[in-house]
Every structure is written in structure tokens, then in C-alpha cells.
Structure 1
């Protein structure tokens, strides 16, 4: 834990100084699902780097001072050896997955499982049987993953039910984003308008009060999502703090504007990374700093309502 903290300090320092500290990399353009809300299928995808080229690319980024990596796809678990290689090159590695291919042991890496609500909602979006398969694999994981849900009109009524179910499983915690539309595709069935976020945010904070740090959402983060508070301080590409500290790449190594691609509608952004960063440091907020530390550190154990994590932290 002390060693992890020592590695985290330079990353946070680089971000505060508005220097690039991390890379978000699509390590594959392939996916075994076709989720209805996914921006991925709205884009053209070039060929991906092969294994040797990808590892060489990782090392080049690390040589430029990038200490952390976030792996996306497609489905990153289709390339488990590349996930492992990233964790050996970078100080911190986060890997997003749909969970259907399991959670291979990645030393120093943190798996993040994307689900879209309880079984009936998740499978309506991701396909029949996906929820049960992901949960089955989750229960066999050697280290608890973080669960992430993108909040949409479809799953918003079920946030309490979903949180209760997930926290009854061996998970590290739950993270939340709001659905971010593309300029090329604005789906009114999915999008919760910025003006309607406040009620959802209050419910997330009530869940935080009930379950403790396993609910990865703080009051400081909530303020960043509200048009009456901090949202308009960052909701353009030019003002986005993540665009300053994070380089994003396609599976062939070419740069792209954002983790959501080149056509994300920043005026309606709901990205958890932005609200966590601004919530933690603008102004400084200890609870949200702990949340970021918990995300980076595989050994971190969040405090529950009894005030202790599994390891007493």
C-alpha cells in the first residue's frame, strides 16, 4: 500500500500541474457484444496494433512520462496478454470490461465491470444472459472488480435496486457516469437532460450515506454535474481537465480527442473521470481524493457504514 501511494503522488502532481499523466487506449476494436447505447459502433475503426507493436507503444508512452493507463475497447479481455503487459509497463492500470470473458489475474491492474442495471435492464441493452454470466465470472475473480453503470433513462429508476444487489456481491464498489451523447447521435430515450440531473444526484448521495465509500460518488462530484454549480466551468473540450491530463488513442495507436471518441457532445458530458478530478481538487476535497486513490490502488479497501474497510483502513 505504501509503495502504491508513492507511485500515486507523481501522477496526481502531474495532473495538478496540468501535465499529461495517463493514457486511455483502445487496445482492440473487437467486441463480443453490441450494446444498444455504445458509442463504439458509431465510429470507423482502423486495424489494431499487434501484440509486439502494442507493447512497444506502451513503453513509448511510459518513456514520455505517462504513468497510468486506462484500457478500453472493444472488449479488452479479448487481449488478456496485452492487459497484463500494460500492468507491467505502467504504474497503474484500469481495465474496462463487459465481464463475459472473466477477470484474469492482472497484478497491479484493476478490472472495472460495466453493467447497465438489474438483469432485465442490463440484458435488454447488452443481450440475453449477459448479466448472469458477468456476475458468475465476478464471483470467481481473484480480486474484487469495481462495477460501473452509465446512468440512462432506462436504468435510472433502478439505481437503488442495482446498488443493493451489487454490494451483496464481492465487489470493491460502484462507480457512476451519466450517459454522454454523440453529436452524430442524440438518443432521447437514453439521455437524462442536464437540467434533470439534480434528483438523480440526490439519490446517489443518499446511497453513499447508506452504504459508505463503496458508492463511488461524493457531494463534490455531484456539484460538478449541476448547471447551477460547477458544470459550466468544464463542459467544453477546451476547458475539460481530463483532456489536458489524458492522451487518448485508437487501437492502431493514432490519437483521438476523447475516450468517447471524436464526436462526444461536451455540452452534455456525464464522464465520471472529469467530475471525480474536479470534485477532488477544485477545491480540494478529501473524500473525493480517497475515491481516486481507491480507484488507482488494487489493495484499497473502502470504508463501509461501520467506518472500516475489509482491511481496517
Structure 2
């Protein structure tokens, strides 16, 4: 059985490729083989591989750059998902689409549920919300999975940035008033596999369709995350630095970040019988630190 994955170089796509087997082969495709904004390109890929399902792990993720490149952000995060979902519907297969905590304003006191009002505060967030809606409108057999603060040995992420900075300096200034759940990309891949098992085994079951939150257990600030990165890195004989805890106001960025990215995963656990492991434990399991 083949599962077509839009995206090849991202953290989730590489994590899916790592768990690919002959029985369930994750075929990861990116440009030039697959242009998600081109219906002909997507249609040709589906025709060639005849997948049982499609996962969209492709996205424009340069949050700050999106403020000056809105057309590029919406092309990748809205047009692409619409094309993929439409092609999946025409092929009679479900689509699993990865979204983000940035669809929320971040001002709620507590954990966000799937039913909470969305109010993105950045171009990136608005483009991702537009992508969610495009997928839902184009294909009734959809699963939209919102996650946050993704880290792994692959691609670019906060953990790798912290280790790189610690190699050159003794003190790193990190925001301490934004909350979320660092989520390990291989655990996201495992969650996607669990969703696939349910959707393909029970196609008539309506409960697997819709929007779900899927983040690691436990929450922290970016500064807390950085301190844990350096603690575990030091235990492995790697780079470390002291964290200077600062406010968001002390670190202005072109795009506004949610102060609260804590997502409630109860619905995902109830439907799919899985909770993503705690983020600190995931860091311990991550063997390849760079």
C-alpha cells in the first residue's frame, strides 16, 4: 500500500519516510516532481503511484518572511492544499492535512479546543487557516491536524537553532512569555499513521473526519524549551548556554506570535486512542543531535 506525501524535505515528511515499509510505503514528493499548486502535476503523481491516501506535509513556513511574501504563503498554504484535496476527492481517497496553532489569536486563558473561534494574527496564520478551509470544502474525506513547535533531527527548527547559537555564545536570549507544546516530528508521523489506520479500516465511520489537535503532552515557554535543550545537550557532551529570559516585547518580529499555543488533544485521543508522548521524553529519544 502506498501513501502519497506532498513534501519531501520537511520535518514531518522525512519522519514519515523513516517509518516507510514495503507494506505501507510513504512516497514523499517535492518539486520538481510534484508541484502542489499545479493540478496536472498532482494528478500525474496520483495516477502514477495509485495511493490509498494523501498526506499534505508541504507548506510555506517562513513565518516572518510571509509578512512580505503573502502571495507565496497563500499559494503554498491555500492553493496547494485545495489542489491536493480536490485531486484526492477525484481519486476517491482521503487527505490528511497538517495545520498549525497560528490559526488562533493566542489570547485564550487555557487550552484551545477544536471548537474555539479562530483569529490568526499573521499572514502565515491566515494562509494556514485558508488552507484548512480549502481542504474541508474540496474533500469531505479529510483530516486536519493542528500541531505546534515541531522539532526533530531534520530540517530547520528551534532545537537546532539553539544548539547552533550555543556553539558561538555563552548566553542566549529567549522569549519566556509564549506558551506551547514542543512536538517531535517522528511522533507526529506516528500519529498520522494511527489516523491512516483508522480511516482506511473504517471508511464509513464519520468520527475520523474533521479537525483535530495533535501536540505533545506537557507545555512550556520557549525559554523553558531552550533550557531543557541545553541541559540534555550538556548531558550528551554537546553545546550549552545560559538562557536569558526575555519578553516578546524585547524581541520584536515582523509576524505576531500567539502568546498561548496550548492545544487540547482530548478529541484526538478519544477518536484515535493515542496521546503524543511528553516533549521532554521525546527529546531523550532523539538520538541524532546536531
TM-score bracket, normalised by the shorter chain, equals 0.3 to 0.5
* TM-score, length of structure 1 as denominator length: 0.33
